[in-house]
Structure 1
């Protein structure tokens, strides 16, 4: 089972779909409806500093804390429910949560807005 824990529908297009299409030109193989309570990655602001030869202040922020994820206590060999989350959230949990997938190989409309993907990715 796939559960979309993002705030947007995820359209999964056939693998051969071009990078850019007009919305409606190609039908997705599957549409995952968005969650009412999406999973989010939290920010833990540490400090800001200036760096040598960098004209902009740089913040040091941890992106490891999450909200909205169901607890994980299962066996990685027996996953029956997969959660689709944003790539930053999935990356923040790589090595900790083997049940998190993210959209991969994006499909965009002619204006460049992401409208779907061609596959899902399991960050390791």
Structure 2
């Protein structure tokens, strides 16, 4: 169920619980700014979720409230995960859903890093008819 990305942070969301070690995950990267783990329902040959360690509901919330250091650290972590998995060439998809219209389901900022195979168009083209 899509969520309202403007609501206050809920520290009982699944990603907050993963960060606290209350729910297991298959970690692929961690540092002081970010935590990355394999998606339990992958949508591509490689599907990794990357989350900031801070309490941010969405990309909008993160870009408005996070410190410059947190933003830089998170973005660098995303790039490192892509490089560590040899995705830079031939390419990958990076996706962040925001709010109900964007299909966001967990109220903690997260990006999906997908690759390892040709992914095709992101959104099916609408007919002109």
Shared fold (TM-score, shorter chain, > 0.5): no
Instruction: Answer 1 or 2: which has greater helix percent.
Output: 2
Normalising by structure 2, what TM-score? 0.22
Structure with the greater relative contact order (CA < 8 A, sep ≥ 6): 1 or 2?
2
Greater C-alpha Rg: 1
Instruction: Answer 1 or 2: which has greater strand percent.
Output: 1
